[in-house]
Amino acid sequence: MSAQVAAQVVLRSADLPVTSENVDEVSVDEGTIERVTAELRRLGLTVGPTGPTSISITATPTLFEQVFSTRLEQRQAASGIVEFVAPVPIRIPDSLAKLVEGVVLPQSPELLP
């Protein structure tokens, strides 16, 4: 089986943008989570756990590139885990633009000697 792309879809809050500083204080209403989840599935993505401000997704690299109009590069982290990076900005599909703040590809920290 080929590697799957894992990412976090960060949802827009009606109150203010979600940042690392305020993530514990911000929440998104359940209706928004349900609408975004349904649209992600309609686009062919696999939806995983949801949190108060984000939704976990997985997809094949090809599908991810098509849905988010980007290009992915695969790399192997020092830990041996295969990761993906997007040298081209990830674009939110029009059908999700009003509900999604962004999409984040997790990266392993680089440990310096």
The pLDDT value recorded for residue 16 is 64
Residue 1 has pLDDT above 60, yes or no: no
Round to whole Å and give the CA distance between 31 and 2.
34
pLDDT confidence of residue 18: 64
**What residue ranges do the domains of the chain occupy?**
5-104
The pLDDT tens digits of the residues spanning 6-58 come to 999 999 876 666 666 766 677 788 899 999 999 999 999 999 999 888 999 99
Number of Cβ within a 10 Å radius of residue 72: 19
What does pTM read for this prediction?
A: 0.84
Tell me how many degrees the CA angle 94-69-21 measures, rounded to the nearest 5.
Answer: 75
Tell me the per-residue pLDDT of 65-93, one tens digit each, with 9 for 90 and over.
999 999 999 988 777 788 899 999 999 99
